[in-house]
Chain A
């Protein structure tokens, strides 16, 4: 029953998207809304049904597989079109359809004035389908299919406003970066197929020890899979596409580039934890990359003035936390933070969307200020989101981030280093998020007034923000230290084969709560002092540490370095090949061949002069020659 429902959940968004595309002419907006949002709502309702029915089963009876048919059978390996319904995939399914539904609802109003209303919903539904395929896939092959499809949907939606050159460039960049990751993922999966002889999740994970603990093969498999995860989840060094992806419409940023797709890398590591725990070194490399990313992105977020770019860098930073946790082996903590992040980051993006919509596409913090008395709903959403992401006691990230950090402390020396970076990151998170809140909603109105008089949003846009804002507060209560452990219990069947589960001691938990709360409150206080208490202070302090801040604003010059190392040499190589090699090499070969044929043809065609009499002469001469040869042969024989 669960798998049948899961198949329906998977197909519904696809059907919705196809219906929208196949609709003859331009469908009425009401019908577009109904199909686009309705298909996701029904999918969400069915996902909840699956969730409840799994809850009623015993914990060790919550894993189901269903193969629709055998797609390929070759050399003893069969490949089924199959799905895997287990607590992990159901959790992802709830996030995708639930948050997806709220964001679709928001989009109905946000995109109201766009002429490509139908295309927007069709592409959003394509995305939801692809993401569901990614998380429901029962083997690595369909994981790759879903992985590729979300990349396509992301490309289409980043470049949604294709008249803008910046949007097209950003879409292309995201696609290229993601293809690097896809290549790594495919190579990793091929290596799994070669070593373990199967692509099926459960068979591969059951036989994971055939890779050899801490062997070079295990390291290669893990790192190749991580290349895929890093590209999708925007980790160093493949992170540069995500901030540019903010060229897409804001609901797209909320759904794809905050709540769901960019966390696919975390999902991949948690899903394949049986492989990743075969290589301790790979886990440590991943944890260090995650930690480096979270710290780097948090400092960059401090210096951005575009409201969406702050949120984008904050997303990079928060996924850094999750990747760090997944690398250290704190899988349930990573998934806990993933869920909480989906709530508060979607809330922040939608609140930012209300602001941008109200100010008619104004995204610069310099043109904002004092908005709290105009945009109450956005203020509520942004406030709740900021408290949640900063880890204010009682809010979402207070529980999930502390879960990550406390578990890190139990993970040896690398874990302790990650813990320190994580606490510093928590301080920076509070600082940059409240900088955003204070600069947009507090203080004086911008000199010269707003770009457009802010108008309050309609209920379509308000309701999702309010729901997500409330979830940003109550969501974290699903797992409370010393209280109950909702997420760990739920994921226990999936994580049952973890060899060394990390358990934080009481002292480690208290230490973490103390430090992270201090960091959060310190960050909020500093942000208040810098940006809210005295609006002029920011301007007076503009000269402080100008150089380092400039580097942060330019995101540590990753883009420039990639330009210098890859793009410029590539372009120069292309110029050399075009101007020097190509005319002499391939082009010379082709024109040379053509010239030989042309000259030969000129000689031969001279005989084809069109005079019947000369043809007759040639025939008779030929006959005479043949006669002479015949005579010689006959004479010779005789």
Chain B
């Protein structure tokens, strides 16, 4: 079965939109991180879809690179979340505004 290219694009747009909404609406940093992952993977799906479309493996390699970067980012993000949780016992990004102008 051949998945049409439009399906990849629609899925990607839906995932990106969900991720954006999540980043803007959620207050829990864990869910924020999840939403960012969602947006990254929306990009990955597009990369892989077009890679298949044009028969060019570069897109798949990019997707692998993005996954590695995303993993590293999650490590740092979770580390920050744990550190904040330890010092404040509270996980709400709106409370973390001590650097405001």
A612 engages B101 (CB within 8 Å): no
A620 engages B24 (CB within 8 Å): yes
Query: Which residue from chain B places its CB closest to the CB of A607 in the assembled complex?
Result: B101
Question: Which residues of B2-44 have CB atoms within 8 Å of chain A's CB atoms?
Answer: 20, 23-27, 32
Interface flags for A299-329 (1: CB within 8 Å of B; 0: not) read 0000000000000000000000000000000
How many Å from the CB of A47 to the closest CB on chain B?
75
B93 engages A613 (CB within 8 Å): yes
B1 sits at the interface (CB 8 A): no
Q: Pick the residue among B26, B27, B94, B100 that contacts A608 (CB under 8 A).
A: B100
Residues of B within 8 A of A620 (CB): 20, 23-24
Cα of A613 to Cα of B29 in the assembled complex, Å: 10
A610 engages B100 (CB within 8 Å): yes
Residues of B within 8 A of A617 (CB): 24
B53 sits at the interface (CB 8 A): no
A612 engages B20 (CB within 8 Å): no
How many Å from the CB of B13 to the closest CB on chain A?
13
Question: Which residues of A579-638 have CB atoms within 8 Å of chain B's CB atoms?
Answer: 604-613, 616-617, 620
Residues of A within 8 A of B27 (CB): 613
Cα of A605 to Cα of B99 in the assembled complex, Å: 11
B24 engages A616 (CB within 8 Å): yes
Q: Pick the residue among A604, A606, A607, A610 that contacts B97 (CB under 8 A).
A: A610
A612 engages B25 (CB within 8 Å): no
Residues of A within 8 A of B94 (CB): 611-613
Cα of A612 to Cα of B98 in the assembled complex, Å: 11
| B: interface residue count bin | 10 to 19
A610 engages B96 (CB within 8 Å): yes
Query: Which residue from chain B places its CB closest to the CB of A613 in the assembled complex?
Result: B24
Cα of A339 to Cα of B23 in the assembled complex, Å: 98
A616-B23, A617-B24 given; A609·B32 CB < 8 A:
no
A610 engages B98 (CB within 8 Å): yes
B20 engages A610 (CB within 8 Å): no
Most buried by A among B32, B97, B98: B97
- CB within 8 Å: A-B pair count: 36
Cα of A196 to Cα of B96 in the assembled complex, Å: 77
Cα of A611 to Cα of B96 in the assembled complex, Å: 7
Query: Which residue from chain B places its CB closest to the CB of A616 in the assembled complex?
Result: B23
B25 engages A613 (CB within 8 Å): yes
Q: Pick the residue among A604, A606, A607, A611 that contacts B93 (CB under 8 A).
A: A611
Residues of B within 8 A of A612 (CB): 32, 93-94, 96
Cα of A606 to Cα of B101 in the assembled complex, Å: 7
Residues of A within 8 A of B20 (CB): 620
How many Å from the CB of A178 to the closest CB on chain B?
57
Cα of A613 to Cα of B26 in the assembled complex, Å: 8
Cα of A616 to Cα of B32 in the assembled complex, Å: 10
Residues of B within 8 A of A613 (CB): 23-27, 93-94
Residues of B within 8 A of A605 (CB): 101
Residues of B within 8 A of A609 (CB): 97, 100-101
Most buried by A among B25, B93, B98, B99: B93
Residues of A within 8 A of B24 (CB): 613, 616-617, 620
Cα of A605 to Cα of B27 in the assembled complex, Å: 23
Residues of A within 8 A of B96 (CB): 610, 612
Interface flags for A211-246 (1: CB within 8 Å of B; 0: not) read 000000000000000000000000000000000000
Cα of A236 to Cα of B97 in the assembled complex, Å: 75
Residues of A within 8 A of B23 (CB): 613, 616, 620
Cα of A604 to Cα of B100 in the assembled complex, Å: 12
Residues of A within 8 A of B26 (CB): 613
Most buried by B among A604, A605, A620: A620
B101 engages A608 (CB within 8 Å): yes
Cα of A617 to Cα of B20 in the assembled complex, Å: 8
Cα of A608 to Cα of B101 in the assembled complex, Å: 5
A616-B23, A616-B24, A620-B20 given; A610·B99 CB < 8 A:
yes
How many Å from the CB of A58 to the closest CB on chain B?
89
How many Å from the CB of A251 to the closest CB on chain B?
69
A611 engages B97 (CB within 8 Å): yes
Cα of A616 to Cα of B94 in the assembled complex, Å: 12
Interface flags for B72-101 (1: CB within 8 Å of A; 0: not) read 000000000000000000000110111111
How many Å from the CB of B82 to the closest CB on chain A?
17
Residues of B within 8 A of A604 (CB): 101
Query: What are 7 A-B residue pairs whose CB atoms fall within 8 Å in the complex?
Result: A605-B101, A610-B98, A610-B99, A613-B23, A613-B25, A613-B27, A616-B24
Q: Which residues of B contact A (CB under 8 A)?
A: 20, 23-27, 32, 93-94, 96-101
Q: Which residues of A contact B (CB under 8 A)?
A: 604-613, 616-617, 620
Known: A604-B101, A609-B97, A612-B32. 17 other contacts (CB 8 A): A606-B101, A607-B101, A609-B101, A610-B96, A610-B98, A610-B99, A610-B100, A611-B94, A612-B93, A613-B26, A613-B27, A613-B93, A613-B94, A616-B23, A617-B24, A620-B20, A620-B23
